[in-house]
A and B are shown apart, each in its own frame.
Chain A
Amino acid sequence: MSLRRGGWLWLVFLLLAGCSKPTPLPPSPDEIVARAAARMKSLPGFHFVIERTGAPAFLDYDETLAFRRAEGDFVTPDQAQASVRVIAPGLVVDVGILSIGERYWQTNLLTGVWEEFPPGTGFNPAQMFDPEIGFQPLMESDLTDLALNGVEELEDLPGKKLYAVAGRLSGERLFQMSYEMIGPETIDVRLWVDPQTFDLYRVILTEPADAEPTVWQMDFWDFGVVAKIEPPQ
């Protein structure tokens, strides 16, 4: 009796398996990256966190002010605001930065009051995520040796399956747009992309090093959200 029922179930399973649609093959890694770059360029805005771990990356030539992390919002095409954490000897400070077009402000270390500076004074996420010359077009042009590592789930995004892509990035242009902190050598890159929307959730850049490498992690969320960025009062 049980054998007969088991045989029927097996037959039903085979029939269902035969009738179901074939699993679509994932797109090629080049296509994933191209679609992620296009998607990012089309977004009116997003939230980002950039974190540096490993060997320090400095914001000044004297190598006293090390970049630790930046969190903020980017609004297409040329607006950004962020809080940048800087580590100086014996001191950790947060500096606010705000950029609208050609205008650029930073907060005073002591008072927190906004002060305007000439463009190019400091690290500027608006330059880094510029849809024309920033990280998004760089993904389309400067990424090589791409490989799809499968579908992965990030620890801080439980339940979300993402394409994991690895590759190499020529660091020269990134060096210019990152206030000379990332690059200019070729960098190992890993990206995590949403299979449905092609939103880029995470990028990890590992710089080549003899000893401890500098590792940059960029996280993105609030895709399409336009933060209100206004000149400081």
Chain B
Amino acid sequence: MNAMNRPALIIILISLPIFIGALDLTVVSAVLPHVVYDLEIPLQTGLDDAAWVVSGYLLAYTVAMTFMGRLSDLIGRRKVYLLALAIFAAGSYLVAVADTWPTQLALRAYFLVASGRPDPAYASLAMLVAARMIQAFGGGAMVPVGMALAGDLYPPGPRARILGVIAAVDTAGWVVGHLYGGILTRFFDWRMIFWLNLPVCALAFGLIYFALAKPPPGLPHPKNTDGGGETPSQPPQSEEHGWGRGKMDWPGALLIALSLIALNIGLGSNSETTYGTLDTQKGIAWSSYALPMLAAAAALFGLFIWRQARAASPLISLALFRRVNFSAASLANFLVGFSLFVAIANVPLFINTLVAETLEQGAWDSGWMLSALTVPMALASIPGGWMSSRWGYRLPAVTGVLAGVAGFVMMTTWRAATPYGTMIPHLALAGVGFGLTMAPIAAAVINAAPSEYRGSASALVIIFRLVGMTVGVSSMATYGLQRADVLSRQWLGAAADLAETIRVGMAVAEKVIQETFIIAAIVCSLALIPVLWLNTNSQDRRTS
């Protein structure tokens, strides 16, 4: 049996690792306090470094998405997909063992070149972040390659639907990641989350290896799936696929990767200046390299745009951004991604800091409470799609943004004593809002793209949301830590005892988390501007 004759089977097979890769994007949001404690990372000075366990994954996931799809155009889907899957599995293994032999190995290498004894907790954390980034690179790469494979397998008519399925699988993964993490850590060590990836990856690897062994019917070029050892008998039949043609824009890939890395370091660096050094009169302090890093990020991004405008085979077609719907929906996606991640990161923080009595209870409660946000989000994306096909993109998108803002405004009323029963409707309202915006924004982007760019446009839907999330987690971690430091000094009396210190610490955490919800509400409301620019022509309405 040739699996290529059953494209739905292929889509199911490739979707499973994509789901797990996306799952691992948010899985640590519920278990991060557990990980920080387990690795003995000090709370005051290590929290900003520990944030890299989340933001590092987001960053590498996003960077891989920008160019690995294009690479698969050139050297073959099967080869790149299996490579990405193997990288993801290797990364999962390394995360599970990060604080054992990889840390020992890193320390031995350190001792060969330097004297002194590095703090083993930070060495373990560095290895964990590195392993998470390896894992994310593989996980992120699977998404565009999977989408491109769907493009190979399906004709233009049903293709958008299948691309939507893969995007939905990716979204579903990170939507339930925290719940999965919370449930697993209730019964097992947090490392079990990553150990469990290995048998699934091994099974998927074997099945996909054989399923993609032969190229899709009508597409005999070996570079399409590079399987079967067949020699090219004829040139590609469809210009639309374009595999094997052109060159990989490695300079472009490098520029966008470096730009995103510099942006993250720049946004995340300010928190390093806070503990014990901040002048409360000056407010937010900047580390010495924050502004140069942000400037470098802007310069590298400018170079990337310049490169894309001139490259024969660009990673991203800039012409897409001349379409109002494409640009407006991309901007809205970035802003929604930013505010969405404030909720995903800060709801567990609120519960762990102010409500839960143990780390296990914190992980468990965080997982369930975040479901009050993400399950309505997933459910609301269905009426969002229906509304956008009936009345256009603008109405569901505007309604969704307004509901999201309202949800965040309600979250600002949370106190340590607020019962879960009160929090759930607030989270659900925000979730419904995000859900309503997802489908019209995605449809606006994909339908604004000509058919030959539909694959990269589909990837851009996810990329813009992920970049928004990445910027959100970096900047909010910085803001939160600096504000916490300023408020602690203002509110804590001289030589306070331990009980008073804990009381003030909780009050500060409550205040800072409220403020981040206000910022999320403001950022979310800014998304009203681009979504009001969305227009729906008759062609869009048909295809959405």
Contacts and interface: CB of A to CB of B under 8 A. Distances in A.
Same complex origin of A and B: yes
Given A87-B40, A96-B276, A115 B358 contact: no
A91 B37 contact: yes
A156 interface: yes
Interface string A105-149: 001111111010100000000000000000000000000000000
Range, interface on chain B: 35 or more
Contact of B276 (A69, A112, A157, A221): A112
Nearest to A112: B276
B36 interface: yes
Nearest to A219: B117
Contacts of B276: 96, 107, 111-113
B41 interface: yes
B488 A111 contact: yes
Majority secondary structure, A binding face: strand
Contact of B496 (A108, A158, A219): A108
B313 interface: no
B83 interface: no
Given A91-B43, A92-B37, A93-B42, A110 B117 contact: no
A94 B42 contact: yes
A49 interface: yes
A157 B488 CA distance: 42
A125 B277 CA distance: 24
A190 interface: no
B115 A92 contact: no
Contact of B44 (A69, A87, A109): A109
Contacts of B42: 85, 92-94
A69 B37 CA distance: 15
A221 B115 contact: yes
B111 A90 contact: no
Nearest to A115: B495
Contacts of B45: 94
A68 interface: yes
A180 interface: no
A111 B494 contact: no
Contact of B492 (A87, A91, A110, A155): A110
B489 interface: yes
Given A87-B40, A90-B358, A111 B117 contact: no
Interface residues of A, number: 28
Contacts of B116: 47, 221
A87 B495 CA distance: 21
B198 interface: no
A90 to B, nearest CB: 5
B117 A49 contact: yes
A56 B356 CA distance: 25
B115 A113 contact: no
Contact of B485 (A87, A96, A111): A111
Most buried by A among B117, B492, B495, B508: B117
Interface string A73-109: 0000000000001010011111010000000000111
Contacts of B428: none
B111 A112 contact: no
Given A87-B40, A94-B44, A96-B276, A109 B501 contact: yes
A49 B494 CA distance: 30
A57 to B, nearest CB: 15
B41 A92 contact: yes
A110 B508 contact: yes
Contacts of B277: 112
Given A85-B42, A110-B504, A90 B489 contact: no
B496 to A, nearest CB: 7
Contacts of B43: 91-93
A56 B41 CA distance: 17
Contacts of A87: 40
B111 A93 contact: no
A30 interface: no
Nearest to B107: A156
A96 B45 CA distance: 12
Contacts of B492: 108, 110-111
B501 A92 contact: no
Interface in B34-65: 36-37, 40-46
B101 interface: no
Given A90-B359, A107-B276, A108-B501, A156 B117 contact: yes
A30 to B, nearest CB: 29
Contacts of B44: 93-94, 109-110, 112
A50 to B, nearest CB: 11
A172 interface: no
Given A91-B37, A93-B44, A115 B508 contact: no
Contacts of A117: 495
Nearest to B486: A111
B40 A68 contact: yes
B323 interface: no
A156 B501 CA distance: 39
A109 B45 CA distance: 11
B505 interface: yes
A194 interface: no
B112 interface: yes
B485 A85 contact: no
A112 B108 CA distance: 32
A110 B37 contact: no
Most buried by B among A85, A90, A157: A90
Nearest to A117: B495
B119 interface: yes
B505 A115 contact: no
B275 interface: yes
B112 A158 contact: yes
A155 B108 contact: yes
Contacts of B504: 110
A112 B358 CA distance: 25
Interface in B491-526: 492, 494-496, 498, 501, 504-505, 508
Nearest to A154: B111
Interface in A212-230: 219, 221
B346 to A, nearest CB: 19
Contacts of A93: 42-44
Contacts of B119: 69, 71
B179 to A, nearest CB: 22
Given A92-B36, A156-B111, A112 B501 contact: no
Interface in B114-156: 115-117, 119, 121
6 contacts: A90-B33, A90-B358, A90-B359, A92-B41, A110-B488, A156-B107
The 9 lowest CB-CB distance pairs between A and B, nearest first, are: A112-B276, A94-B42, A111-B488, A156-B111, A112-B275, A110-B488, A110-B505, A111-B489, A92-B40
Interface of A: 47, 49, 68-69, 71, 85, 87, 90-94, 96, 107-113, 115, 117, 155-158, 219, 221
Given A49-B117, A221-B116, 5 more contacts: A91-B43, A92-B43, A110-B501, A112-B44, A115-B495
